[in-house]
Amino acid sequence: MSVEIAIVEEEAELYAERLRAEFPDIVVHAGHTAADVIARCGSCNVIMGLAQCIPPALVQATPRLEWIQALTTGVDPLIMMDVLDPKVPITSARGIHGPQMSEMAFLFMLDFARDIRAILRDQQNRYWERRPQRLLLDKTVAIVGVGVISEELARRCKAFGMRVLGVSSRASADGFDAMYTRDRLEEAAAQADFLIAIVPYTRDTHHMISAAVLDAMPRHGVFINIARGPVVDEEALIERLRDRRIAGAGLDTFIEEPLPASSPLWGLDNVIITPHVGGMSDIYAEQILPLLIHNVRAFKEGRVSDFRNLVRG
């Protein structure tokens, strides 16, 4: 099968180089943004890129489109795209983000446990103060959404001696001490020193972390969002952070990104804000290229049924 690919990503040329080396007969157009490739993709039958960086205009500019390979685990922007033919298969990067997402969760948990930001301020001011040091040992973490990433995070939590709860339709999973169905989310939240959202964003998970869920958390509890911004009721979260009804929040994703300068979240001293970097790593290409090569080979040979991480199609 003839293959012509448009790749939209900061390291698009690296991916293109590796794919051309593996498949000399394919055509690859690489660009940092959709605007860089949109004029060249009229005959492309494949698009690759971060799901949130593939706009409707790029899809509309590829009338021969037969497959989209997202370079992200989440594909909700594509699933919800009106102009995308629902018959076009979508594959994701599910399974490669466990290490970086787990480390991001621990960055938040360790900061709130050890008050690293205050220690760094003291260092900058040349001020010596021995601050209380909370351990993660014996703390309870409730992970909302149980999949490949969550299982990897759970194993790391167990290595720190933590009790791990999962919120999912699954009956069990590696590394979890107990599982709760979604209708028991508040029950799990009530036990959580750390409540972590990793659930995919869908219409069913919109505002899943609701005011009621946040109110169920203990006052010393910390909410961590490494899923998608709309998974949490952001206004309810801001209100509870302002009132100290929960101890804090570590937020990597937001309803609007980039987070506007006008957002009240910037001014809250019990919030850590990171700019949606949880899925990034310094070895991302090495992590994802084996998946891309496998799926391109399956596509070339007409074996769509052999796609890995087929989300739709």
Lowest mean pLDDT among 5-14, 72-81, 177-186: 72-81
pLDDT, mean of residues 241-259:
97
Beta-carbon neighbour count of residue 14 at 10 Å?
15
Residue 250 — φ and ψ, nearest 5°? -110, 115
How far is it, in rounded angstroms, from Cα 292 to Cα 285? Answer: 10
Known catalytic residue at 64: no
Over residues 87-96, mean pLDDT: 96
Same domain flag for 67 and 200: no
Total domain count for the chain?
A: 2
Query: 189 and 307: one domain?
Result: no
Q: Are residues 222 and 308 in the same domain?
A: no
Q: What is the mean pLDDT of residues 28-45?
A: 97
Instruction: Please give the pLDDT value at position 189.
Output: 98
- C-beta atoms surrounding 39 within 10 Å: 10
> CB–CB of 66/86 below 8 Å?
no
What is the pTM for the complete model shown?
0.93
**Structural domain span for residue 295:** 4-95+282-312
52 lies in the same domain as 105: no
Give residue 237's pLDDT.
Answer: 98
Would you call 66 a catalytic residue per the annotation? Answer: no
Residues 88 and 114 in one domain: no
Decide if 175 contacts 149 (C-beta within 8 A).
Answer: no
What confidence category does residue 260 fall into, taking pLDDT thresholds of 50, 70 and 90?
very high
pLDDT tens digits along 128-168 = 999 999 999 999 999 999 999 999 999 999 999 999 999 99
Q: Does the structure show a pLDDT above 90 at 313?
A: no
Q: Hey, what are 5's tokens?
A: 């690919």
Give the Cα-Cα-Cα angle 156, 159, 160 (nearest 5 degrees): 95
Same domain, 302 and 200: no
| Annotated catalytic residue, options 29, 94, 97, 228 | 228
Residue 257 known to be catalytic: yes
Q: Quote the mean pLDDT of the chain.
A: 97
Catalytic residue among 257, 286, 301, 303: 257
